[in-house]
Amino acid sequence: MRTKIYTLIVVLFIAALALPACGSKPAGPTVVHVKLSEYTIAMDVATIPAGPVQFIIENVGKEVHEVVLEFAGAMDTPFELNGKESEVEDIAPGATVTLDWTLDQPGEYELICGLKPEAGSDVTKDHFLEGMVITFTVQ
């Protein structure tokens, strides 16, 4: 009889430990897929939850691009934290890179390509002015 009671206690204890995990949010960042080409940026979602996010960025175009994560309308102003900016530069054609960031504040954000013609560069057009911007919402 005591063996049955101990077994029942152990089973109930294990069930009690597992129960909180049933309704919990999965660990890890929200993953967002981004595709770059001339002269567009596409995302697989338009709204993401606040918290850590991992942008998986694929350059399917024929030109080098970059991605800057910023508040909507910020005009090429990446976030900065501990000396790191929310930006990935020099994304070669065919390359896939990641940008990991935490977006804690709900609101409107955007990804842009801020490349523009400068002396000594191969860039012939202002990528942002050509339409390389996409806005999304953090809730």
Q: What is the pLDDT of residue 55?
A: 98
Q: What angle do CA 125, 129, 131 make, to 5 degrees?
A: 105
What are the tens digits of pLDDT across the range 65-106? 999 999 999 989 999 999 999 999 999 999 999 999 999 999
**Structure token pair of residue 51:** 């918290």
pTM over 0.85: no
| Mean of pLDDT over the chain | 89
Q: What per-residue confidence (pLDDT) applies to 17?
A: 58
| Longest CA–CA separation in the chain, Å | 86
Amino acid at 79: F
**Predicted confidence (pLDDT) per residue in 14-38, tens digit:** 655 555 555 555 579 999 999 999 9
Provide the pairing of β-strand 47-48 with 51-59.
unpaired
Q: What is the pLDDT of residue 91?
A: 98
